[in-house]
Chains A and B, each alone.
Chain A
């Protein structure tokens, strides 16, 4: 019998992912072995520790450029950068997830399986401490995302997709308040997400048929070969794209976004808006730039149309929203459209500017959702827009900060929103996609309107009787907000270091 030949494994390059997965498994053991009272602090510490150490490991690996475990994982510039981004944004999300001082027991239920509206449910909404399983789930999700952006073959990518999606489905269902909405969101996300995964998997199968393998390098080589079946290629690419477009919330695969963003516990929404977006676009970039750049002339117009549609749908529907979380959800859809404009530049500029945008947007959106958790009344978060009227009078600091974040979303200079938009649009003009930029500029005007409406609401409207209060944020939320806002200012005023970093990182290995 022939000896089984194992591929060489570079554990150093895989270290960040290994740390996250290891810590997540450890977290499950903690659930089993430690008393309920102490679990929250242990899990939170473990989570912070794991993410920090993983981030250090990423930094140590910053100059690694290699493909390992038999071609399944590529650690190169974009991988390292995006993993770092996911970890930093994940750390800030974890701060929001771990906050327990704003609401007694934190934003999560204590038992997920209680019938909604029953006596037990009312009791658990009152004061019982929240689930601590959320921490290992978050770590699994982050681990999956870091693998997702590093995956160098389609199967690994699929596995990573499932690894980070399943915990997110669960996390969506765990909101302490508005249980029905939360469960509905989770179910919706799960069902649609499963379809998307199925599409992705089917696409992988077709591409396997086309290329005779699943590694991106093999696909790239086959694309150059005109003898192969073009039907399999395009059908496969289309199906894979659907899976990724779904995760990135691009129209017409965005319909889950507002419902899920609204229903999920707000810290989880923040995690999805920041980290999932990085992961999804990371994978999309890799697939398009590494595997399929040979057929760029064919997919560019199709994805261009999708980008235009996404920007339009996001901007127009954001105008009509009356709920803060839904408004931010549609704004994130529109932002996904701008990101896709950057992706479609299909040059090094496009790669680096998209990565810049992901980080900049991630910080702003974390701050935005972090602030949403603070506006509360007796029933939990008050997310209806009309309720925010006149908050500027009652809490000027809060309103000023939120206004700043909204100005960043609107792309006003001296905020990260402007620099990142400038970067992606510049790259797209460079890449010959001027029409997309013009479309992007027009939708930016539309999109400014809902943000401005909120600003008017905050400052220029009279406060009503039912204006909710702004809670004093606990240490963790304060830290998250400070980081988010500081990054939004810094990337607007002195973006040069991060731009240089993304430029240095903008090189794939194949």
Chain B
């Protein structure tokens, strides 16, 4: 089973599905939805098999496949996954069926075509899997840019009132980042010996002169920082997240933004170790600013989706400092955070979407006391909020904790300031929940018939797997950390950082075993 071409099949499956769904006539909306859901479940099943086949103690990169593409540039279809990519692929495979099911009625009220919407979702899954599975920088770049297109149309054609503005802003920001990266990729290709192969380039990277490496690092970093998004490149996300349909917004912050942090781990750190160390202080400062600044802005939002988008920017600040603290503990925490954030914020967006679909408005002031009408949904919302603020017992707590102690061992000051972000997180989440579901019932709510329908069976099926996973990983994260740990250690070795503290012992034990 180890030689099974998991990654290429996993990448191509959603593309085939997208084409198939797109060809379904517009009138047969139910069929399109069913096919899309079934297709994403097939992808999920395949990725579960891949998860089983992955050997925790095996090579850093597994499931390697390589096919010729443009020989004269040495660009190849090379796929390979390390532990970090594997957990991200798993996250994608889990989130997509959930989101497709959650988006079931999103298109019904508009006069847009349902097959197009679900085809775009599958096309987006194709680009997402591709970007994490690619081990050739050219191929990675191709997916990195192409993923804009389905999301652009999802936001632009199916989004809320400010969708045009948000879609264009999203596209331009990402494209600007992409072009910076293009310049860096070309530069890397020329100085790195005319190849795009990640492995060959990491070997060649040490001979790149320091000044060039720093420029190339910055090219990649800007692209990833816009994608992630890190402060100060974050301004597109609240607009995009606010305008996108709730399911797509969940994918936007749950999966797509992870490309940024993943790219930093895989490409910035490993290819330009010296430049990464050089830039780390600045990145840490940006991360801490992001945590505090976005959390403060989140407190002041009156739009539910924008609020969740801002919380997401704050969380990315945590992931950022975890990466640039350069300890295995913090790094593992960051990768775990990437997974948990996908689950928790994904859930939060989906639940917000359920509220918004019922009320027909994003504004918190249009709610108030909704818990009296839809108690179960309000409970799920509360749970999602608690998970998002990293309450102990939920999965994000472990990752946030790992990031903070991992950072504290080397940069105590940053860790202390970042901890203030946790307090702010409590403020924005609890206040959001309170204003929306608690307190006196807003009389306007009772006039909306949909608001009297509590969570439906379909919606239960949507939220149940996410809630289960959040609790499960909150108490027993080992299956994930076991996969992540070796990859993070290898990345930290690439950077050339001596690992302080207890994690080094763990690493030695692993070697001994």
Q: Interface residues, chain A, CB within 8 Å of chain B?
A: 407, 410-414, 418-419, 421-422, 425-426, 429-430, 434, 437-438, 441-442, 444-445, 448-449, 452, 456, 459-461, 494-496, 499-500, 503
Contacts and interface: CB of A to CB of B under 8 A. Distances in A.
Contact of A426 (B163, B167, B180, B189): B189
A426 B192 CA distance: 12
B145 A434 contact: no
A425 B175 CA distance: 17
Contact of B168 (A438, A441, A445, A456): A456
Nearest to B190: A429
A407 B150 CA distance: 13
B149 A412 contact: yes
23 contacts: A410-B175, A413-B141, A413-B143, A418-B145, A425-B183, A425-B186, A426-B190, A429-B187, A430-B190, A434-B187, A441-B180, A445-B175, A445-B176, A449-B172, A452-B172, A456-B164, A456-B167, A494-B69, A495-B70, A496-B68, A496-B70, A499-B70, A500-B71
A460 B141 contact: no
B184 to A, nearest CB: 10
A413 B186 contact: no
A421 B185 CA distance: 13
Given A413-B146, A441-B180, 9 more contacts: A413-B142, A422-B186, A425-B186, A426-B73, A437-B183, A441-B179, A442-B179, A456-B167, A494-B69
Q: Determine the main DSSP class of B at the interface with A.
A: helix
A413 B72 contact: no
Nearest to B175: A448
Contacts of B157: 459-460
B233 interface: no
Nearest to B164: A460
Contacts of A438: 183
A418 B157 CA distance: 25
Contacts of B176: 445
B383 interface: no
B171 interface: yes
Contacts of B72: 496, 499-500, 503
Contacts of B171: 448, 452
Contacts of A414: 142, 146
A107 to B, nearest CB: 33
A494 B168 CA distance: 29
Nearest to A415: B146
A460 B154 CA distance: 11
B502 to A, nearest CB: 44
A425 B183 CA distance: 8
Contacts of B190: 426, 429-430
Nearest to A431: B190
Nearest to A412: B145
A238 to B, nearest CB: 31
A396 to B, nearest CB: 9
B295 to A, nearest CB: 31
Nearest to B70: A496
A448 B186 contact: no
Contacts of A422: 182, 186
B153 interface: yes
Contacts of B260: none
A184 B68 CA distance: 52
B156 interface: yes
A339 to B, nearest CB: 17
Contact of A460 (B70, B163, B179): B163
A495 B70 CA distance: 7
A473 B166 CA distance: 35
B356 to A, nearest CB: 21
A407 B146 CA distance: 10
